[in-house]
Amino acid sequence: MTGAAALMLDLLLVVLVAFAGWAALAGRGVFRAVVFFIAYGLLVALGWVRLGAVNVALAEAAIGAGLTGVLLLATVGRLERAGAARDVPLMRGAAAWVPALAGLAVTGALVWAWFALPLPESPGPQLAEALPRSGVENPVTAVLLNFRSWDTLLEAIVLLAALLGVWMLGRDGDWTAPLGLRQHVREGGVMAGFGRVLPPLGLLVGVWLLWAGADAPGGAFQGGTVLAAVIVVALMAGVAAPPGVDALPLRVALVLGPGVFLGAGLVLAALGAGFLTLPEAQAKAVIVAVETALTLSIAVTLAGLVLGPPTAPNGAAARTPDGARP
Amino acid sequence: MWLDLASFALTALGLFFFVAGTAGLLRFPDTFSRLHALTKADNLGLGCVALGVALQAGHWTDVLKLVLIWALALLAAGTVAQLVARAALAEPRARKGEGERP
């Protein structure tokens, strides 16, 4: 692409990101705000691609726009079913000034930091020197699973804690009920067919993203999000029934990732290498094992977040996706 | 040279369908005609753009990826159109285009 065309594209992207952000904040209606938030996430992902950060773009599109968007849409749906949905009028007067000033202050601080802080030292030479010893070729995976694996371990645990928080929202009496609202699917209908066609393809893409993450953009979080979508589509299409919180396979799948991660760290510490310090010879094997377990746990945890807390079947019935009446 | 011209023509045609589909989405009165407008953008528009870009592909695997993207978008769009239409049938408010949300 020539310089002028690239500049035009980037400027257009900047304008669109700003517009989508403004529309999400200023529009009336929660549903419309959520739709613009999703569009905003997809545009930001395009921006990351333009900056050459494909890993971040994948994560933003899958988690920032996709998963967060679905969670917000599910929240809007639940509010409407509970009769609690109301469109908050646009803030005016003094009340509007506080968040506006706070936003301006954050923007100002970021601009100040951009000019005041020294440019971060380019990780080029050091990373290039350390990368061959990390066990993988994708520098992002090397940082996430080897050099700074502490952060990733804590992220995995935070995700699990978030799911437990969602489960706490269920009623006491519903604790042993299946997760989420009941799905009603017309036998042989469009949704039932979709639920059989998409999951095999999604499975392939998710596992490929995990495997490719070793030396190309991808990894546990990106692959796990795709697999989470596969699980949700399959459950919505009635291919499988959602489990209850006391199902053993579910619990094993949830703790497998953080468990294998922690276990690998402890074993390495016991062998004298230090907690989560990967020796060069075993680095690749440890990273593949941890990422595989992590992908499964992330997929099940994210799907669990979308499904919501356990809900008794006689509660408010789910809005059926293809018009079939319960 | 001819390949480039064909790419320009096909992507331009694809973009035309996208613009037409967007105009239909904004201007048509009810859910069903809006869906009808949208399918033009997804099926023909994306198909033409993918075909135009495929002519510039360096490797046959790139062509395969483009075909996969088009096929998946087609599948998702077709399914979602059916589900939205059925939801609109069940909820008359959305059918007349009064409600701004489904």
CA distance A126 to chain B (A): 34
pLDDT at A324: 46
The CA distance from A258 to A297, in Å, is 8
Q: Tens-digit pLDDT profile for chain B (102 aa)?
A: 788 899 999 999 999 999 998 898 888 888 888 888 888 787 889 999 999 999 888 888 889 989 998 998 888 888 888 888 888 888 766 555 444 444
Examine residue B59 and state whether it is found in any structural domain, yes or no.
yes
Q: Give the residue among B76, B3, B26 at the shortest CA–CA distance from B46.
A: B76
**Across the interface, do A29 and B100 touch by the CB < 8 Å criterion?**
yes
Buried b (16+ CB within 10 A) or exposed e, A274-307: eebebeeeebbebbbebbbbbbbbbbbbbbbbbb
Q: Taking each helix axis as running N to C, give the angle between helix A30-50 and helix A3-26, from 0 to 180 degrees, rounded to the nearest 10.
A: 160
Token pair, residue A72, equals 């917000």
* pTM for this predicted structure: 0.82
CB nearest to A322's CB, from B72, B86, B100:
B86
For residue A178, list its beta bridge partners.
A244
Mean pLDDT in chain A?
84
How many domains does chain B divide into?
A: 1
The answer to the question of residue B100 being in a domain is: no
- Quick check: is B102 in a domain? no
The β-bridge partners of A255 are none
Residues A58 and A217 sit within 8 Å (Cβ to Cβ): yes
State ipTM: 0.78
Q: Which residue has the tokens 């517009």?
A: A19
Cβ A31–B75 below 8 Å, yes or no? no
**Residue at B101 is within a domain:** no
A48 and A57 Cβ atoms separated by less than 8 Å: yes
The alpha-carbon gap from A278 to the nearest alpha carbon of chain B, in Å, equals: 36
Q: What is the largest CA-CA distance in chain B?
A: 53
Asked if the model's pLDDT at residue A217 lies above 90, the reply is no
B79 in contact with chain A, both atoms CB, cutoff 8 A: yes
CA within 13 Å, CB half, A314: 2
Summarize pLDDT for A286-308 with one digit per residue, the tens: 888 888 999 999 999 999 999 98
- Report whether A261 contacts A294 (CB < 8 A): yes
Q: How many angstroms separate the CA of residue B83 from the nearest CA in chain A?
A: 5
CA A263, CA A275: separation in Å to the nearest integer?
10
pLDDT band at A87 (very low <50, low <70, confident <90, very high): low
What percentage of chain A carries pLDDT values higher than 90? 32
| A155-158: long-range contacts, CB 8 A cutoff, minimum separation 24 | A156/A257, A156/A258, A156/A261, A156/A294, A156/A297, A156/A298, A157/A258
pLDDT at residue number A323: 45
Mean pLDDT of A62-81: 87
**With contacts defined as CB-CB under 8 Å, which chain B residues touch A322?**
82-83, 86
Share above pLDDT 70 across residues of chain A, in percent, rounded to a whole number: 92
Instruction: Give me B54's structure tokens.
Output: 């495929």
Please give the residue range of the domain that contains residue B52.
2-95
pLDDT band at A285 (very low <50, low <70, confident <90, very high): confident
pLDDT value at residue A108: 95
Find the CB nearest B101 among A31, A198, A322. A31
Q: For residues A17 and A40, give the distance between their C-alpha atoms in angstroms, rounded to a whole number.
A: 6
A95: amino acid identity, one letter: A
Could you tell me if residue B84 is inside a domain?
yes
Please tell me the distance from the alpha carbon of residue B68 to that of residue A204, in angstroms, as a whole number: 13
Using a CB–CB cutoff of 8 Å, tell me whether A200 touches chain B: no
